[in-house]
Amino acid sequence: MQSFINYIKNLPFWHFITVFVAIAIIISEVLIIIQSYILHGEIHNDLLIVGFFTPAIDAFVVFFITGLMLIQLKENETKLLLSSRVFHESHDGIVITNAKNEIIDVNPAFCEISGYKHDEVIGLNPLILSSGKHSPEFYADMWQQISAHGHWKGEVWNRKKNGELYAELLTIFTLKDNTGIIINYVGVFSDITQNKKQQEKLTQLAHYDMLTGLPNRTLFSDRFHQAIAHSNRTKTQLAICFLDLDNFKPINDNFGHGIGDQLLIEVANRIKANIKEDDTVSRQGGDEFALLLGDITSYEQCKQTIEKIHHALTQPYLLDGYSHTITTSTGITLYPSDKGDIDTLIRHADQAMYQAKLVGKNRFQLFNTEQDQQNIQKHLQIKEIQQAFINNEFCLYYQPKVNMKTGVVFGTEALIRWIHPEKGLISPLQFLPIIEKTELEVLIGAWVINQALNQLNLWIQKGIKLGISVNISSYHLRSVSFFSDLEKSLARHPNVTSGSFQLEILESSELGDLNTINHIIKTCKNELGVNVALDDFGTGYSSLTHLRNLSANTIKIDRSFVRDMLDDPGDYAIIDGVIGLANSFSREVIAEGVESTEHGLMLLVMGCYKAQGFGIARPMPIDELYFWLSNYTPNKEWLAAGNKERTQKNDSS
Ligand code: C2E
Ligand code: MG
Ligand code: MG
């Protein structure tokens, strides 16, 4: 009935006029016929015809129009029924509000999703569903779009009647009247909570560590960029820290991965508990964690946080009835004093952590930017030297050694030189310290030995009777393969008598365990027959101990004593003492750095006959050495002094 009334209300005006006129004509026709019958006692035929047909036509018109009206009514009723079914049976929630945004109708799906009953919400503002998860700006933007375009679509978190959150994909559109004024707002929404949860799970997997729930590397990288921006904005420092548990592996190995995992989870919780809400801790893998500590105003402040974390991590872990303890090593680098991308800063923190481990673990270390620059520089230099070695840019110079008493050139010292294609000749003191304690030092050392042995071999073929000494670094000497390599090198030069080959070991260098060194020296001497000299003797901390414990054949008095022996009684006394000791321990003695005849004369008087120095010859390339040898004339004054000493000895005997 209601729908019929609605239908009638909506019928066009002319429908009513037509039906009204038709009915009025029929009534007037019938009245005329009745009047004629009363007046005349009969009905006139014409009148009857008119009176009959006219109403008949009218009746037809009325029936026709009414029929049309009924058909239209039926159609409209069907449409209304359909709309109503759609509204009621839709799985999407529908909420209709009036212009004041008061709910005037909701469908069952709305009730099902929101948990509210139909009558509970009528007259209320849809804001009752608000979750509080969206900012006022979000809603302002939404309404701005609705008023500008008449519709809005987006994802909204709302709250059910029971307080549970749900996500919906919501479309809001307006209904306007003929004049364009909004009369209704319609919201249609579907529940997408499941999709959202799925999405969140994927995000969680992509950004968080499964075990500890901490941000993983990907999220750490995001946070890093935000933290850098924050540091730049607030002009505060950012600490990038790298933590590594010191003794985690044994726990994992001895108690199983389950316990190891539980410990890592606890570690993560303890770190989280000791940093600020805005700071980040991420698990980088295994037992490694990285931290971003923002708003740092001083290193002291950063230190305090790390100390707090270390303290928390050293507390016992009660797992499965056992108490476990661990310690932590941490490396720290501070932005912006240390600038770089995430990889660089993490690498720096990692390097500092490694240093902390090296110096004894259970501590933290700040990355040293200057040291790093030096390391980088050194690394580049090592690479350059390595390339020079590959390019064959090294060669040996030879410095003659003479017996001042007899005038005989009995040997040479092979000294390495780098002939740089652009820079020219480079002294060993400029590049050997760079490769100290590296594999390259061992490689180059082995090359020197082979070059010297080749040279000796050539001299034997040429009939030149000269020995060669080579300098051996203590790192090379102590390398595992030193002995076997030397043995092989000597075996490759069967003509060389090993007695003409000498190893010069720096007395001043860090020799390490003297027993080990002496064992090497002895094996070289006894098994291979090579000579060993203690080079730069007197410059070491415990020369006497070395003299006693190292069974070297020769002692080379360091040139620093020789240089000043004529003027400095102290140096004179040292040389005198060294010569005396060498005699007592039956070692040969040679002075290096003999720059003048006077030096030689003094040494002869003191009982040191062998010498090497600029006073005799400078180190020189092999071709020059041949030239020098062919032009060599012994120092007459030295010969004379030697002869005099010999004569005196003969006279006294
Ligand atoms: P060293 O073994 O004590 O070699 C002697 C150094 O003294 C040489 O310097 C030589 O040129 C210099 N010298 C010799 N006589 C005099 C002199 O009368 N006055 C002065 N002022 N200096 C003199 P060089 O060739 O520059 O070598 C320096 C050091 O580099 C060597 O000292 C040695 O320790 C090291 N070295 C040189 N070649 C090699 C090598 O092939 N391997 C290793 N491991 N070290 C080497
Ligand atoms: Mg030497
Ligand atoms: Mg020396």
**In the chain, where are the structural domains located?**
2-89, 93-197, 207-369, 376-643
| Confidence bin at 642 (pLDDT 50/70/90) | confident
The per-residue pLDDT of the chain, averaged, comes to 90
Q: What is the CA radius of gyration of the chain?
A: 53
pLDDT reading at 2 higher than 60: no
Question: How far is it, in rounded angstroms, from Cα 593 to Cα 615?
Answer: 8
**Cα of 427 from ligand 2 centre, angstroms:** 14
pLDDT tens per residue, range 456-495: 999 999 999 999 999 999 899 999 999 999 999 999 999 9
* Atom from ligand 1 closest to the CA of residue 594: 18
The CB of 538 under 6 Å from ligand 1? The reply is no
Question: How far is it, in rounded angstroms, from Cα 598 to Cα 592?
Answer: 14
Q: Output the 3-class SS for 318-355.
A: EECCEEECCCEEEEEEEECCCCCCHHHHHHHHHHHHHH
Question: How far is it, in rounded angstroms, from Cα 42 to Cα 494?
Answer: 166
* Atom from ligand 1 closest to the CA of residue 558: 3
CATH superfamily of 207-369: Reverse transcriptase/Diguanylate cyclase domain (3.30.70.270)
pLDDT tens per residue, range 495-539: 999 889 999 998 766 777 788 889 999 999 999 999 999 999 888
Tell me the best of 419, 430, 471, 501 to mutate to test the pocket of ligand 1, counting ligand atoms within 8 Å of each CB and taking the most. 471
| Confidence bin at 243 (pLDDT 50/70/90) | very high
Q: Which residues contact 131 (CB under 8 A, 6 or more apart)?
A: 156, 157, 158, 159, 165
| Strand (E) or helix (H) holding 156 | strand 151-159
Under CATH, which architecture does the 376-643 domain have? Alpha-Beta Barrel (3.20)
pLDDT at 115: 95
pLDDT at 87: 93
Protein residue with least CA distance to atom 35, ligand 1: 428
The CB of 504 under 6 Å from ligand 1? The reply is yes
Higher pLDDT, residue 87 or 34: 87
Q: Which residues contact 449 (CB under 8 A, 6 or more apart)?
A: 470, 485, 486, 489
> Are the folds of 207-369 and 376-643 the same?
no
Lowest mean pLDDT among 62-66, 363-367, 571-575: 62-66
Dihedral sign for Cα 621, 625, 627, 628, please.
positive
**Cα of 506 from ligand 3 centre, angstroms:** 7
Q: Which CATH number fits domain 93-197: 3.30.70.20, 3.30.450.20, 3.40.50.300, 1.10.10.60?
A: 3.30.450.20
* pTM attached to this predicted model: 0.62
Mean pLDDT throughout 439-448?
97
**Cα of 415 from ligand 1 centre, angstroms:** 6
